[in-house]
């Protein structure tokens, strides 16, 4: 038996992020790791806080009966209560423990959520540029992926959203701080989205959920605030994880938080718990649940990301690249340098392939729904950034010279 037609199609479409990461592995074998400058994958490289290792060692040594056994699908009650306190502080309203479902990372949480709320043919709206995997998550559960443009500076466009809404719209996904732009949606922008969804609900009788994907909430610079989507719209669900804030991407632990203002919050949480089970996750990792519950006030070294982002931005700007300043996350989303008289489809892919000649690895904007741009992830060593900057400058010169 061969793989399904759908999987074959998805392999063709597969994430440019992973594709470029795998290209990097090949180049490192050929030239050596220190001669390849891989800005493709958002893989946090700073270590978790020291407290994480201490707590994990203590919990792992606990020989109490049932320490590693099953628990309710939504998670340990004590962990849900602790996480509810953090979610309440983040969102600015009291979220009960019963509205928290522990998940296998934010990605697992989004899949559980979409399986819970989507009927076949229901629509999920996202703003461009978007995290590339959203397309597959929606498709996994029989949904229809609908992407809409953003306005100046990648601000969400309420009118574009209004035009895209239909009676089949189940939810709108927003991602702030944003991957790939590093942009933080303002309170006014979230409120404008909420107003459009409220208006749509009154007209059609169906109020789409606002799904806020927030794994970068803690990775912000200069004291920036990440406003609460739950205060902007009542039918809101937050998906997040500790992959970035504690630098634990491989440990796969996160949570879904359902706003207490949701009309059927209990029914939704019951559905999320059931889908956690039937999708095969069963429950979030037991050991990690207990660990993160003791680390709610801890963070990885966010200042190191800020330093690296500033260093890369200064070097790129001096070389003539154009991009919006990231306010959070750890990405720069830059415009492909224009060539005289050229506006060819696929120019972003061509430019990324051009960068590869200098052993610079980036991701083309087409993977995020934005051809003409490319993404750089700066969760890499500062030495990598310093060594790469002259190569970015040379790549720009040669590109414009047609070399």
Q: Give the mean pLDDT of 182-211.
A: 98
Q: What is the DSSP letter of 220?
A: B
Label the pairing between strands 209-213 and 37-38. unpaired
pLDDT grade for 370, boundaries at 50, 70 and 90: very high
Q: Name the token pair of 65.
A: 């009966």
- According to the model, what pLDDT value does residue 114 have? 98
In the chain, which segments carry CATH 3.40.640.10? 50-293
Residue 204: the pLDDT is 97
Is the Cβ–Cβ distance between 329 and 219 less than 8 Å? yes
CATH architecture under which domain 50-293 falls? 3-Layer(aba) Sandwich (3.40)
Look at the alpha carbons of 102, 105, 111, 113 in this order and tell me if their dihedral is positive or negative. Answer: positive
Give 76-134 pLDDT, tens digit per residue. 999 999 999 999 999 999 999 999 999 999 999 999 999 999 999 999 999 999 999 99
Q: What is this structure's pTM?
A: 0.93
Could you tell me which CATH number the domain at 5-48+300-400 has? 3.90.1150.10
Per mean pLDDT, which range of 9-23, 83-97, 241-255 is the poorest? 9-23
User: Whole-angstrom Cα distance, residue 299 to residue 296?
Assistant: 8
Is the peptide bond between 177 and the residue preceding it cis, with omega within 30 degrees of 0? yes
Under DSSP, is residue 245 helix (H, G, I), strand (E, B) or coil?
Answer: coil
By three-state DSSP, how is residue 151 classified?
A: coil
Which residues contact residue 211 at a Cβ distance below 8 angstroms, ignoring those fewer than 6 apart? Answer: 110, 113, 171, 172, 173, 174, 236, 237, 238, 239
- Taking the CA atoms of residue 354, residue 8, residue 278 and residue 117 in that order, the dihedral angle to the nearest 10 degrees is 70
What is the percentage of the chain residues whose pLDDT exceeds 90? 83
Over pLDDT 70: what percentage of the chain? 93
Locate CATH 3.90.1150.10 in the chain.
5-48+300-400
């Amino acid at each position: 038996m061969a793989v399904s037609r759908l999987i074959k199609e998805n392999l063709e479409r597969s994430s440019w992020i992973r594709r470029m990461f795998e290209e990097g592995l090949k180049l490192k074998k050929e030239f050596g790791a220190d001669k390849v400058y891989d800005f493709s994958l958002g893989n946090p490289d700073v270590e978790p806080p020291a407290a994480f290792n201490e707590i994990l060692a203590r919990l792992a040594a606990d020989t109490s009966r049932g320490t590693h056994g099953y628990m309710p699908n939504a998670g340990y009650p004590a962990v849900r209560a602790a996480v509810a306190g953090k979610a309440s502080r983040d969102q600015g309203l009291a979220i009960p423990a019963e509205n928290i479902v522990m998940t296998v990372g934010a990605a697992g949480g989004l899949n559980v959520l979409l399986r819970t709320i989507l009927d076949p043919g229901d629509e999920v709206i996202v703003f461009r540029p978007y995290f590339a995997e959203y397309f597959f998550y929606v498709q996994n559960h029989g949904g229809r992926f609908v992407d809409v443009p953003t306005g100046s500076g990648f601000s969400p466009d309420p009118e574009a959203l209004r035009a895209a809404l239909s009676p089949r719209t189940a939810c709108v996904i927003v991602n702030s701080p944003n991957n790939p732009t590093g942009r933080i949606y303002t309170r006014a922008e979230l409120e404008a989205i909420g107003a459009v969804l409220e208006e749509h609900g009154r007209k059609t009788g169906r109020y789409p959920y606002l799904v806020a994907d927030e794994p970068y909430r803690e990775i912000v610079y200069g004291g920036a605030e990440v406003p609460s989507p739950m205060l902007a719209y009542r039918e809101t669900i937050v998906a997040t994880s500790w992959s970035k804030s504690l630098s634990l991407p491989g440990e796969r632990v996160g949570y879904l938080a359902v706003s207490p203002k949701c009309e059927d919050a209990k029914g939704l949480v019951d559905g999320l718990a059931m889908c956690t089970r039937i999708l095969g996750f069963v429950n979030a990792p037991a050991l990690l649940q207990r660990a993160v519950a003791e680390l709610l006030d801890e963070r990885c070294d966010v200042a190191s990301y800020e330093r690296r982002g500033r260093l890369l931005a200064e070097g790129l700007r001096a070389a003539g690249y154009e991009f919006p300043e990231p306010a959070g996350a750890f990405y720069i989303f830059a415009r492909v340098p224009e060539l005289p008289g050229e506006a060819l489809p696929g120019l972003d892919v061509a430019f990324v392939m051009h960068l590869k000649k200098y052993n610079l690895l980036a991701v083309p904007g087409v993977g995020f729904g934005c051809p003409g741009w490319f993404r750089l992830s700066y969760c890499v060593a500062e030495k990598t950034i310093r060594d790469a900057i002259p190569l970015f400058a040379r790549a720009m010169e040669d590109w414009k010279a047609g070399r």
